[in-house]
C-alpha cells in the first residue's frame, strides 16, 4: 500500500459507512465517501476531520439508486484522483415494500447489487493501474437465504422484503467471486464480508415490525456500527489479506460460503443480465 492510500467508500454519512470513514481517516488515508445530501456530507466531513485531524476526508454527491448519478460520481472521482487503492462498496438498502430505483429497477437489486457492479466496473481501470489495490463488498449473512430467481429477478410476481434483500446480497457475493477469478494476476483483490447485525436505521425499521419479545431478543444480538465497520477496515488495511481474493469474511476471518455463492454458471448468467441493465 502507498504511504497515503486513497480509499473510496459508498454510503459514508451514517451507520457502518460513517464508522468505516472515521476509522480509515485515523490511519491517515485520503478517504472519499458518497453522500446523497450535501448538508449531511459536509457535517460528516467536518466531524471526522475535527476528530481525526485528517484534512483529506472529503465526499462526492451521489445517489446509488441512479445509474446516471453513479456514472457522474465515477467521472468526478477520476477527475480529482489519479489513483485508487481501496474501493469499498458499502451502501445498501432494505426497503419495507417493493420500490423501484430512478431507472425503474427493483430497489434491492438496483442499490445492493447493480450499483456496486457498475461503480466497480467504471473504476476498474484506475484500480488496475494503482495495483496492488483492493475491492471490498459489504454483503450480509442473509445471502444464505437467497436464491437468484432468474424468472423473477425484480420480484414483480411476488415480493417479500427479506427474500429480495437476500437475493441482492447473494448476487453481490457471486459478483465478488467471479470478479476475483477474472482479476487473478492483476494485483487487484476482491473480497466480501458480513458486518454483523447492527442497530442501524435499516435494522430498526424491521425491528418495529416484529413481535415485541422477538424484537427484544433480536436487539440483544446487536453490535455497534463501529464494531460493524471493523471487518471492512481490516480488509482495507491489513497486510495479512494483501494477497487474498475471492473470499467471504466475518469478524475479520475468512469463512466458507454456502454452495449458491460459488455457482459460477449462475454468476456468469447474472453478469450478462447486469451488463444489459446498467448498459455496460
Tell me which residue of 135, 146, 195 sits closest to 170, measured CA to CA.
Answer: 146
Say how many residues make up the chain: 280
> How many Cα atoms occupy the beta-carbon half-sphere of 253 within 13 Å?
3
Catalytic residue among 113, 143, 165, 248: 165
Cell of 213: 419479545
Asked if 88 contacts 148 with a C-beta cutoff of 8 angstroms, the reply is: no
The answer to whether 81 is a known catalytic residue is: no
Q: In a 10 Å sphere around its CB, with 0-12 CB exposed, 13-18 middle and 19+ buried, how is residue 184 labelled?
A: exposed
DSSP state, 137?
A: E
Strand partners, 32: 8, 58
Asked if 95 contacts 107 with a C-beta cutoff of 8 angstroms, the reply is: yes
CA distances from residue 233 to 18, 24, 57, 158, 169 in whole angstroms, order as listed: 12, 7, 15, 37, 20
CA distances from residue 78 to 14, 106, 194, 207 in whole angstroms, order as listed: 24, 29, 29, 40
List, by residue number, the catalytic residues: 165
Amino acid at each position: 500500500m502507498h504511504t497515503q492510500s486513497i480509499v473510496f467508500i459508498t454510503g459514508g454519512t451514517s451507520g457502518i459507512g460513517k464508522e468505516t470513514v472515521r476509522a480509515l481517516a485515523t490511519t491517515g488515508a485520503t478517504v472519499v465517501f458518497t453522500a446523497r445530501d450535501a448538508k449531511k456530507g459536509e457535517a460528516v466531513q467536518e466531524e471526522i476531520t475535527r476528530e481525526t485531524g485528517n484534512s483529506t476526508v472529503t465526499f462526492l454527491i451521489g445517489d446509488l439508486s441512479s445509474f446516471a448519478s453513479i456514472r457522474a460520481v465515477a467521472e468526478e472521482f477520476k477527475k480529482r484522483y489519479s489513483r485508487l487503492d481501496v474501493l469499498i462498496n458499502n451502501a445498501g438498502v432494505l426497503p419495507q415494500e417493493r420500490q423501484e430505483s430512478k431507472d425503474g429497477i427493483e430497489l434491492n437489486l438496483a442499490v445492493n447489487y447493480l450499483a456496486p457492479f457498475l461503480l466497480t466496473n467504471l473504476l476498474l481501470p484506475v484500480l488496475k493501474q494503482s495495483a496492488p489495490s483492493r475491492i471490498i463488498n459489504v454483503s450480509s449473512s442473509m445471502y444464505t437465504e437467497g436464491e437468484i430467481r432468474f424468472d423473477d429477478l425484480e420480484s414483480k410476481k411476488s415480493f417479500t422484503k427479506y427474500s429480495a434483500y437476500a437475493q441482492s446480497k447473494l448476487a453481490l457475493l457471486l459478483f465478488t467471486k467471479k470478479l476475483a477469478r477474472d482479476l487473478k494476476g492483476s494485483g487487484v483483490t476482491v473480497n466480501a464480508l458480513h458486518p454483523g447485525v447492527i442497530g442501524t436505521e435499516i435494522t430498526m425499521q424491521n425491528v418495529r415490525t416484529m413481535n415485541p419479545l422477538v424484537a427484544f431478543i433480536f436487539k440483544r444480538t446487536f453490535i455497534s456500527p463501529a464494531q460493524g465497520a471493523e471487518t471492512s477496515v481490516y480488509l482495507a488495511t491489513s497486510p495479512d489479506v494483501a494477497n487474498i481474493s475471492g473470499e467471504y469474511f466475518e469478524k475479520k476471518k475468512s469463512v466458507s460460503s454456502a454452495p449458491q455463492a460459488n455457482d459460477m454458471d449462475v454468476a456468469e448468467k447474472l453478469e450478462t443480465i447486469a451488463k444489459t441493465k446498467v448498459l455496460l
